[in-house]
Amino acid sequence: MTVQFAFGQSDKIQVEEVIDQWHAAAAKADFNTYFTLMDSASVFIGTDATERWNKEEFMRYAKPHFDKGKAWDFTSLERFVDFSEDGKTAWIDELLDTQMKICRGSGVLVKKNGKWLIKQYVLSMTVPNDLVDKIVPLKAASEDKIIEQLQLK
């Protein structure tokens, strides 16, 4: 795992531990730990264009998956961590080994009362550049409907 930091070593370690614990909690279907690591006003953005959930919405979506005994299993392959100048905000981006093959996760963490919490996390599927021309037609009909709906707003 590659890590880049521009703030304190202990903060970098803490941020990494939060993200590692978060991924591990999903793999073990530990609902309480998973959502305790997220800020009360957090947002999760999934791979589908319609997936943008606040914490409460994401909890409702995730609960049936966690209730099955295993939610999802993401392992970080590479992670970068950067900090705001005041050290109260951290940005991460990582490549993940998932059931969808390589995905990219990116997020923002905030330090509250000495504890790092996930404020936003974005999960994206990666598409190799040489496959874009094959992938776009597969998703075009579905996403054209979403584009149309969003343009009407």
Q: What is the pLDDT of residues 95-115, one digit of tens each?
A: 999 999 999 999 999 999 999
106: nearest Cα among 61, 54, 44, 60: 44
Choices 3.20.20.370, 3.10.450.50, 3.40.50.1370, 3.30.300.30: CATH for 9-128: 3.10.450.50
Where does 35-139 show beta strands of DSSP type E? 38-45, 52-54, 75-83, 89-98, 101-112, 115-125
Residue 142 has pLDDT above 60, yes or no: yes
Is this structure's pTM higher than 0.85? yes
Residues with Cβ within 8 Å of 117's Cβ and at least 6 positions away in sequence, in order, are: 18, 37, 38, 39, 42, 109, 110, 111
Residues with Cβ within 8 Å of 81's Cβ and at least 6 positions away in sequence, in order, are: 3, 4, 5, 12, 15, 16, 90, 91, 92
| Rounded average pLDDT over 51-70 | 97
Residue 9's pLDDT is 78
| Rounded average pLDDT over 43-60 | 98
Mean pLDDT of the chain: 94
Q: What confidence category does residue 8 fall into, taking pLDDT thresholds of 50, 70 and 90? A: low
Classify strands 38-45 and 115-125 as parallel, antiparallel or unpaired. parallel
Rounded Cα–Cα distance for residues 29 and 147 (Å): 34
Residue 117 has pLDDT above 70, yes or no: yes
Residue 1 has pLDDT above 90, yes or no: no
For the chain, percent of residues with pLDDT exceeding 90 = 93
Q: What confidence category does residue 5 fall into, taking pLDDT thresholds of 50, 70 and 90? A: very low
| 3-class secondary-structure state, position 126 | coil
Q: What confidence category does residue 70 fall into, taking pLDDT thresholds of 50, 70 and 90? A: confident
Residue 2 has pLDDT above 50, yes or no: no
